[in-house]
Structure 1
């Protein structure tokens, strides 16, 4: 009897470890997965205009802050790894968009770079290196401030809140882009659906794993913005369909 009970407990522990490991892997890979269909969509159509690069900015800021937050409050390692992978993913997306925009230029426009310090063209530069330089400056300044103030709990908690709040707002630039175009043409619907599924999973994960309150609160906000974008897909469906027919030459 004791042998059977011990075996059953061992099986439960193994299943629990497998589920925990699977959830961790999903957290690490799931953040970048939604951008695969958007990346393929831009490459296939050679048109990055329907995707807002401010989504990349929001995620780069959020994940850089979340990495800094880890040094003050050691949350789970999968979340830290996810932040690093997300930053790499966003740079890949920016590189694609900048490259496609350059190829689409019929008349060579004036180069706009980070060191020009023109507020009008912030995050609308014409070379990829400018985006890298901007984030390097932000990271160095953020790391320096964190180094000196990491002993203050209120500072650490503020970094954590800013990180997850900024990430929660990644849908806002896309909502603005769709509203401006009165269309969702150029935006991958698969990306948004994967956003929603990932955000629901992520928020539940935060609650189950007792992550800091900032994480699950802002995850809920993220779900709300995903729903707004899906509403825009329905609202602008006729103009989006017309834009697609025009692009195909129908």
Structure 2
């Protein structure tokens, strides 16, 4: 009898831990961006945050959603991708609005349909970012539909999805290196990145997710630690260009 109760208790605890882990995976990804969002909104300055972080995550999670149709993985990871895309569009909307408010003069409007390579992902209106991702989503969805029966293609899509996500911190790392400053970047965002990515990588390994997931997770954690090192080495440095800056990311 005692053995039966112990087994039932262990099973219940296992279910609770499983549901908690799944919930953490779904909402944990957006938590790092809450302090960055609040900081940009409070200071009305988006220069310290690289919008290419949003690009990396939008591409990665769109590819991950398509990968699911070719090779089903756990639903929490699928739901996380959908929520993350919504979060990234919210970040882009805020950054574009703040940058337009801060313009000291009427700058040339840069929109997606101009198709100027030098202006890519540095457009003046939020709609251009939406249009870009719609085009990308349609093109990749068509490819997945046509080539879904080819296992090699599906695996490549899965690898590109997680590898792109693993590289999401690279634009911020480069931006910090070029300016020799982390001013305007939320340190809490990077701290939550690191904690979340460590948890996510362990989750991938324990839940036996596809190999691409946890290998690229290790790469992502390494980049997070490099950014934290920048916070230490660049402490006290102020970014030299602030007012009236229209630099690309």
- Alignment deviations for residues 4-59 of structure 1 (CA, whole Å, 9 cap, x no partner): 22121111100000000000000000001100000001001100000000000000
Matches within 5 A, 1:53-72: 53-72=51-70
Q: Which residue of 1 aligns with 2:75?
A: 77
Q: Which one is further off, 130-139 or 100-109?
A: 100-109
133, 136, 143: which is aligned to 1:135?
A: 133
Corresponding residue SS for 2:110: coil
Unpaired segments ≥5 residues, structure 1: none
1:104 Cα deviation from its structure 2 partner: 0.6
Task: Give the whole-Å Cα distance in 2 for the aligned partners of 1:46 and 1:173.
Answer: 21
Task: Give the whole-Å Cα distance in 1 for the aligned partners of 2:4 and 2:180.
Answer: 62
Q: Does residue 10 of the first structure (1) align with residue 8 of the second (2)?
A: yes
Corresponding residue SS for 1:126: coil
87, 111, 123: which is aligned to 2:109?
A: 111
1:110 Cα deviation from its structure 2 partner: 1.3
- Give RMSD over aligned pairs: 1.3
The number of aligned residues is 242
Task: Give the whole-Å Cα distance in 1 for the aligned partners of 2:148 and 2:216.
Answer: 23
Task: Give the whole-Å Cα distance in 1 for the aligned partners of 2:221 and 2:83.
Answer: 21
Task: Give the whole-Å Cα distance in 1 for the aligned partners of 2:224 and 2:105.
Answer: 37
Q: Which residue of 2 aligns with 1:92?
A: 90
Q: Which aligned segments of 4 or more residues in structure 1 are displaced greater than 4 angstroms?
A: none
Task: Give the whole-Å Cα distance in 1 for the aligned partners of 2:198 and 2:108.
Answer: 43
TM-score of the superposition, structure 1-length normalised? 0.95
Task: Give the whole-Å Cα distance in 2 for the aligned partners of 1:104 and 1:23.
Answer: 41
Task: Give the whole-Å Cα distance in 2 for the aligned partners of 1:18 and 1:159.
Answer: 32
1:154 Cα deviation from its structure 2 partner: 0.2
TM-score of the superposition, structure 2-length normalised? 0.95
Task: Give the whole-Å Cα distance in 2 for the aligned partners of 1:14 and 1:43.
Answer: 43
Task: Give the whole-Å Cα distance in 1 for the aligned partners of 2:174 and 2:124.
Answer: 22
Q: Could you say which structure has the higher helix fraction?
A: 1
Matches within 5 A, 1:13-52: 13-52=11-50
- Alignment deviations for residues 140-196 of structure 1 (CA, whole Å, 9 cap, x no partner): 000000000000000000000000000000010001110111100000000000000
Q: Does residue 182 of the first structure (1) align with residue 180 of the second (2)?
A: yes
Corresponding residue SS for 1:239: coil
Task: Give the whole-Å Cα distance in 2 for the aligned partners of 1:29 and 1:62.
Answer: 17
Unpaired segments ≥5 residues, structure 2: 244-249
